Amino acid sequence: MSDVLNVGIIGLRFGVQMHLPAFRSDERCRVVGVAGRDRESAERVARDLGVPKSFTDWQDLVSDREVDAIGIAVPPLVQPVVIAEAARHGKHVFCEKPLAASLPEARRAVECAQAAQIAHGVDFIFPELAAWKKARHLLMDGAIGRTVHFSYSWRVETYASRTNALTWKSRPEAGGGVLGNILSHVLYNVEWLFGPINAIEGFVCSRDSRHGRAMDGVVEIESGIRGAISVCTDAFLGSGHVVEIFGENGTVVLRNAGVDYVAGFDVSVGTRASGTLSVVPTGPEVTSAGDGRVVPVSRLVRRFIDAILGGEPMTPNLSHGVRVQELLALIAESADSVRQSADGRVSVGS
């Protein structure tokens, strides 16, 4: 391995839009190749962005001796296969969420990476944001006393829902839908804020034309905290991404009502003494001129490079991806067990 890490990007959409600028933001690496299914598109992207090599077969990029690490931005059905092949060639991997379309595939991916002793990371972006870090600090510092319960609502209209696009993001069986595309983030965020989830209850999803677009349920944290989760991808002018955290002595609220998935978050706190919610400063947040996700992805990529060069595991990594996949599998099982009775009431169980 040379002094500068050579990186290949698989995926001409999210990979080029997010991974490529994120890797280029770190002076310790350079992007030497991109791979996509369409030859003309791959060649055009490489030419326009000054990337030396383009590939139409991702396996050729993975096996290229010049490449040290791979940024993988492909559908969940494909990602475990790419990870396994990269591990076989000793290439470090930076991956997307959800890790896979099923739990066995996710576990296979992490087994391959661990056996090959490669560095690996997963792109869970929200804990990289200043507002989220501030919210967690407030909780850990006891600003609202003991946390009692929370409400987590993420109600937006995604491009896939608005256009009825036939992509993996609209197909639960392909690792997408609201379960893989949205709840994968939510579950990681919940455990990052509150600790391990030890029970899930009553998760339900629509069985009509909205199937795969909305899900609601309750989780219980090991510490006893309970939280209601409500997410959907077809809420035109929805309330956005909101986490309300209620403690014995106050409340913390994380909120983003904007159209950018990450830019625009603020955090408010209110105590019994203040009697009102007030936005608290979080320090300057570095932003990008385009999609706000580039900045947190860049922070994760920097830790990924640290892991490659320093030998210490990064967080979040494939093990965290498997943990989320375990929770997704439990929620899918819970939702499948819900029966709708003739009078409209919902019961759980067989």
For tokens 């990450």, the residue is: 262
Q: Give yes or no: residues 70 and 210 share one domain.
A: no
Residue 281: which domain range? 127-285
Residue 343: inside a domain, yes or no? no
Residue 337: inside a domain, yes or no? no
Q: 345 versus 125: which is more confidently predicted?
A: 125
pLDDT of residue 342: 34
pLDDT of residue 289: 61
pTM for this entry:
0.92
CA–CA distance, 163 with 159 (Å, rounded to integer): 6
Residue 18: inside a domain, yes or no? yes
| Cβ neighbours of residue 14 closer than 8 Å, sequence gap 6 or more | 73, 96
Which phi and psi angles does 60 have, rounded to 5°? -65, -40
Measured from the Cβ of residue 67, the count of other Cβ atoms closer than 10 Å reads 22
Q: Give yes or no: residues 12 and 103 share one domain.
A: yes
pLDDT, mean of residues 69-74? 98
Residue 327: inside a domain, yes or no? no
Q: Give yes or no: residues 37 and 75 share one domain.
A: yes
Q: Give yes or no: residues 161 and 278 share one domain.
A: yes
Percentage above 90 pLDDT, the chain: 79
Q: Give yes or no: residues 210 and 193 share one domain.
A: yes
Q: Is the pLDDT of residue 219 over 80?
A: yes
Q: Give yes or no: residues 149 and 271 share one domain.
A: yes
pLDDT of residue 62: 98
Q: Give yes or no: residues 106 and 246 share one domain.
A: no
Measured from the Cβ of residue 171, the count of other Cβ atoms closer than 10 Å reads 19
Q: Give yes or no: residues 119 and 44 share one domain.
A: yes
Residue 329: inside a domain, yes or no? no
Q: 335: pLDDT confidence band, cut at 50, 70 and 90?
A: confident
Total number of domains in the chain: 2
pLDDT, mean of residues 62-74? 97
Cis geometry, peptide bond prior to residue 76 (ω within 30 degrees of 0): no
Question: 257-310 pLDDT, tens per residue?
Answer: 888 888 889 999 999 999 999 999 987 666 656 788 999 999 999 999 999 999
Q: 159: pLDDT confidence band, cut at 50, 70 and 90?
A: confident
pLDDT of residue 336: 66
pLDDT of residue 210: 76
Asked if residue 44 lies in contact with residue 33, where contact means CB atoms within 8 angstroms, the answer is: no
Q: 92: pLDDT confidence band, cut at 50, 70 and 90?
A: very high
Cα three-residue angle 214-128-266, rounded to 5 degrees: 70
Question: 161-178 pLDDT, tens per residue?
Answer: 888 888 888 888 889 889
Read off the CATH number of the domain in which 115 is found: 3.40.50.720
Q: Give yes or no: residues 51 and 39 share one domain.
A: yes
Residue 223: inside a domain, yes or no? yes
Give the CA count within 13 Å in the CB-facing half-sphere of 143.
21
pLDDT, mean of residues 53-74? 97
Q: Give yes or no: residues 176 and 112 share one domain.
A: no
pLDDT of residue 341: 35
CA–CA distance, 94 with 67 (Å, rounded to integer): 13
Scanning the chain, the segments in alpha helix (DSSP H) are: 14, 20-24, 39-49, 58-63, 79-88, 103-116, 130-140, 159-163, 177-178, 184-194, 294-310, 318-336
Nearest to 120 by CA among 75, 78, 86: 86
pLDDT, mean of residues 30-47? 96
Percentage above 70 pLDDT, the chain: 92
Q: Which of 131-135, 143-147, 166-170 has the lowest mean pLDDT?
A: 166-170
Three-state DSSP at 201 gives strand
pLDDT of residue 337: 62
Residue 326: inside a domain, yes or no? no
CA–CA distance, 321 with 308 (Å, rounded to integer): 19
Residue 330: inside a domain, yes or no? no
262 beta partners: none
pLDDT of residue 350: 33
Q: Give yes or no: residues 111 and 256 share one domain.
A: no
Q: Mean pLDDT for the chain?
A: 91
Q: 160: pLDDT confidence band, cut at 50, 70 and 90?
A: confident
